[in-house]
Amino acid sequence: MAERTYSRILLKISGEAFAENNVGVDVARTHAMAEEIADVRSAGVSIAIVVGGGNIWRGKVHEDAGMDRATADYMGMLATVINALALQDALERMHVASRVQTAIAMHQIAEPYIRRRAIRHLEKGRIVIFAAGTGNPYFTTDTTAALRAVEVGAQAILKATKVDGIYTADPKKDPLATLLPKLDYMGVLQRGLEVMDSTAMALCMDNNLPIIVFDMSVRGNIRRVVEGEAIGSYVGAS
């Protein structure tokens, strides 16, 4: 492996990445993600992961239909635990040691989130998957990713998406949309670009934590980002 830019990363994976047609947990997709992660881990990179749950539960839809926001958010947190366990199983079938830590206590299936324990797992070469968000409603998994990255000393957040970076508009809807390879935090906030929510972006800005947005469906992209290749879009200090 080439000399890498990052030795510890926080990988943010959306719930949709687990699904076929955005619904459920697809075994083949989950296995493919695990292979990519295992490849980077085998090169000595320390990896923490935050997963979303949108393939199982979309709280916003139910909130718009009248459901209590906190209830909808808690149900979304439980959905992330399902995805975390699926990813852990795929990794461990490849003999890659991993641990799931949840912000909501559920001792029978996962460890509770304890910062020092998470760091120790990373130091021992285990992959740590953070589930159940922050444990609080009204906070997204983007905010969870920023918070956990800062807590465990990650050098960057790698946000896996279905597009190859940040665009001026949705490239699937606007043929004139152009890729923005490098931005600063304030530029993202001022332009209203949907990279991460404003709480997560502010937390990254306050801690000078870079964000790389890239297309995870391209094989080897996680490794390329870690090695310092100019993949996707980079958000950092101006």
* Lowest-pLDDT choice from 2-11, 95-104, 149-158, 198-207: 2-11
Out of 4-13, 142-151, 165-174, 178-187, the most confident range is 142-151
Greater pLDDT, 119 or 191: 119
Task: Write down the pLDDT at residue 227.
Answer: 92
What value does the mean pLDDT of the chain take? 94
Task: Classify residue 136: in a domain, yes or no.
Answer: yes
Q: What is the CATH number of the domain that holds 57?
A: 3.40.1160.10
Please state, in angstroms and rounded to a whole number, the distance separating the CA atoms of residues 206 and 106. 32
Q: Which structural domain, as residue segments, surrounds residue 47?
A: 8-160+215-225
Residues 82-94: pLDDT tens digits? 999 999 999 999 9
Q: Let me know how long the chain is.
A: 238
Task: Classify residue 71: in a domain, yes or no.
Answer: yes
Task: Write down the pLDDT at residue 234.
Answer: 96
Task: Classify residue 175: in a domain, yes or no.
Answer: no
- In 3D, which of 99, 122, 121, 126 has the Cα closest to residue 110? 99
Task: Classify residue 174: in a domain, yes or no.
Answer: no
Task: Write down the pLDDT at residue 82.
Answer: 97
Task: Write down the pLDDT at residue 75.
Answer: 96
Please state, in angstroms and rounded to a whole number, the distance separating the CA atoms of residues 70 and 62. 11
Q: Is the pLDDT of residue 4 over 80?
A: no
Backbone angles phi, psi at 215, to 5 degrees: -90, 110
**Torsion-angle region of residue 3: left (phi > 0), alpha (psi -120 to 50) or beta?**
beta
Under the banding of pLDDT at 50, 70 and 90, the label for residue 1 is very low
Q: Is the pLDDT of residue 3 over 70?
A: no
Which token pair is 232? 């996707």
- In 3D, which of 93, 84, 212 has the Cα closest to residue 141? 84
Task: Classify residue 147: in a domain, yes or no.
Answer: yes
**End-to-end CA gap in the chain:** 30
Instruction: Provide the number of structural domains found in the chain.
Output: 1
Residues 16-51: pLDDT tens digits? 999 987 789 999 999 999 999 999 999 999 999 999
Task: Write down the pLDDT at residue 8.
Answer: 98
Under the banding of pLDDT at 50, 70 and 90, the label for residue 171 is confident
Q: How many CA atoms lie within 13 A of 147 on its CB side?
A: 19
pLDDT, average across residues 76-81: 97
Residues 188-201: pLDDT tens digits? 999 889 889 999 99
Please state, in angstroms and rounded to a whole number, the distance separating the CA atoms of residues 117 and 123. 10
Task: Classify residue 238: in a domain, yes or no.
Answer: no
Task: Classify residue 199: in a domain, yes or no.
Answer: no
Task: Classify residue 125: in a domain, yes or no.
Answer: yes
